[in-house]
């Protein structure tokens, strides 16, 4: 009798809300405490390579968002069908297929940005963040949670890219999204000169380092102790 009662109780157990507190954390945690770039130290290459201007950084972020969210869902749906021995190959095929679609869309509708991003769109295939989430999360969770995890980590990746690009373009070229901000403000007439060092790759690493320092200053729990 007790077993039957437990089965009935389990059957009428309310389902978890789509945006429960636990599910919301899948989106919010990667924005700060579990950020893929500043905490997990993944995806650094693109953060250094395509952040000279805000526009390509934004397009790259949207591209990664599309690939990561869809890849997580697809792999999650297939998780019980993928043999363990070939799971990495299957994941790469899924990511590569989505990247090809994204690349073709960019070439069709944003050809100038596609040229600026060059090979970096193709390198999304080997992005450690995407592979890591597929392996660590999508293979063990349902499609909805996997979708939220993909969106959350993509947003965490995106805001770092856009923040770095914001400072590099503004201080290095005096523009934002190509708009001449400092010229319109009349700063050049006051003697201001663009900082050419900001457009050099080392400054991207320094900017990311400053963001990491600020983040750990606000959240002391992220500081690693030996």
pLDDT in tens, 199-211: 888 888 889 889 9
pLDDT band at residue 156 under the 50/70/90 scheme: very high
Q: What's CA 102's distance to the chain center, in Å?
A: 15
pLDDT number for residue 3? 58
* Strand partners of residue 179: 176
In a domain, 142, yes or no: yes
Tokens of 158: 């995106």
Lowest-confidence region among 53-67, 115-129, 143-157 = 115-129
In a domain, 115, yes or no: yes
pLDDT number for residue 1? 47
Instruction: Give the range of the structural domain holding residue 135, as residue numbers without chain letter.
Output: 30-220
pLDDT band at residue 42 under the 50/70/90 scheme: confident
pLDDT in tens, 72-83: 999 999 988 888
In a domain, 177, yes or no: yes
In a domain, 81, yes or no: yes
DSSP of 36-51:
TTTTS--SHHHHHHS-
In a domain, 22, yes or no: no
User: What does the CA dihedral 155, 160, 163, 168 come to, rounded to 10 degrees?
Assistant: -140
Crossing angle of helices 143-173 and 54-78, rounded to 10°: 170
Q: Whole-number mean pLDDT of the chain? A: 84
In a domain, 15, yes or no: no
pLDDT number for residue 192? 84
Q: Name the pTM for this structure.
A: 0.84
pLDDT in tens, 84-128: 898 889 999 999 999 889 889 888 888 887 887 777 777 787 778
pLDDT number for residue 8? 47
- Counting the structural domains of the chain, the total is 1
In a domain, 17, yes or no: no
In a domain, 24, yes or no: no
């Amino acid at each position: 009798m007790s077993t039957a009662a437990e089965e009935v109780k389990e059957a009428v157990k309310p389902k978890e809300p789509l945006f429960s507190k636990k599910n919301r954390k899948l989106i919010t945690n990667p924005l700060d405490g579990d950020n893929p770039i500043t905490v997990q130290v993944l995806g650094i290459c693109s953060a250094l390579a395509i952040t000279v201007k805000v526009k390509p950084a934004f397009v790259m972020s949207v591209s990664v968002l599309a690939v990561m969210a869809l890849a997580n869902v697809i792999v999650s749906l297939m998780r019980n069908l993928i043999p363990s021995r070939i799971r990495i190959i299957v994941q790469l095929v899924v990511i590569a297929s989505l990247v090809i679609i994204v690349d073709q869309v960019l070439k069709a509708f944003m050809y100038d940005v596609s040229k600026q991003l060059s090979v970096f769109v193709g390198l999304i295939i080997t992005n450690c963040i995407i592979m890591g989430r597929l392996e660590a999360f999508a293979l063990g969770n349902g499609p909805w949670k996997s979708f939220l995890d993909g969106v959350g980590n993509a947003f965490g990746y995106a805001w770092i890219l856009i923040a770095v690009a914001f400072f590099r373009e503004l201080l290095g070229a005096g523009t934002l999204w190509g708009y001449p901000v400092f010229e319109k403000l009349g700063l050049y007439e006051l003697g201001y000169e663009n900082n050419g060092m900001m457009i050099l790759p080392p400054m991207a690493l320094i900017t990311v380092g400053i963001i990491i320092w600020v983040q750990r200053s606000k959240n002391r729990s992220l500081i690693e102790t030996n």
